[in-house]
């Protein structure tokens, strides 16, 4: 199994590495919007919006997103997978483990939650909201491999964690 994961990481990593240096500012931007101040900020805004409107559904949804991001970070302590050896990783302010990608988890659950909120408030923009959320999630995730912060399998792990959180949120919405 480890060999298959290593092969997958190598294939995807080599493909992403073929992108020109012109992509770097774009990838740095998407890594930035995958940072906790943005992802937790979206979830906290939904939580606060729920408090302001006294809507428990929004409060619970924001809380689920925040917990998802925290859990994805805590999972790193159990997996203890070392990050790739790159200049980007050497310059990281916080030295954490690699698996799962909290950027990928946070982007999926937070931008998914934002798309869901747009869908509820402005149904005519639901499709656009989901396309933007998916695009942002994919680009945040790809940026992490491009910059050398993660292996591709770390991204898959982050998507699984973020996807589980988003499913819990969608179930909450479906039950109301």
C-beta separation of 67 from 165 below 8 A = yes
The boundaries of the domain holding residue 22 are 2-174
Q: Any idea which of 17-21, 22-26, 101-105, 131-135 has the lowest mean pLDDT?
A: 17-21
Domain count, the chain: 1
97/79 Cα distance (integer angstroms): 8
- pLDDT at position 53: 95
Give pLDDT tens digits for 95-114.
899 999 999 999 999 999 99
DSSP 17-52: HTS-GGGHHHHHHHHHTTSHHHHHHHHHHHHHHHHH
**In whole angstroms, what separates CA 134 from the centre of its chain?**
10
Residue 81: which CATH number?
1.20.144.10
Residue 119 in contact with residue 79, Cβ under 8 Å?
no
In terms of Cβ atoms closer than 10 Å to its own Cβ (0-12, 13-18, 19+), residue 132 is middle
Each residue's pLDDT tens digit, 122-159: 999 999 999 999 999 999 999 999 999 999 999 999 99
Cα–Cα separations (whole angstroms), residue 157 to 5, 87, 102, 153, 162 = 12, 23, 9, 6, 9
The pLDDT of residue 17: 86
């Amino acid at each position: 199994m480890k060999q298959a994961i290593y092969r997958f990481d190598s294939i995807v990593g080599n493909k992403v590495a073929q992108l020109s240096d012109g992509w770097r500012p774009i990838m740095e931007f998407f890594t930035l919007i995958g940072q906790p101040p943005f992802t937790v900020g979206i979830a906290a805004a939904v939580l606060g919006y729920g408090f302001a409107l006294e809507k428990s559904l929004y409060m619970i949804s924001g809380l689920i997103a925040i917990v998802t991001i925290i859990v994805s970070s805590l999972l790193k302590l159990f997996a203890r997978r070392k990050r790739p050896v790159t200049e980007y990783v050497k310059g990281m302010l916080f030295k954490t483990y690699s698996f799962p990608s909290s950027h990928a988890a946070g982007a999926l659950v937070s931008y998914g939650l934002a798309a869901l909120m747009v869908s509820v408030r402005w149904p005519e923009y639901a499709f656009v909201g989901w396309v933007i959320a998916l695009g942002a999630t994919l680009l945040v995730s790809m940026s992490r491999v491009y910059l050398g912060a993660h292996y591709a399998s770390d991204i898959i792990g982050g998507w699984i964690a973020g996807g589980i959180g988003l499913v819990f949120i969608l179930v909450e919405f479906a039950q109301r």
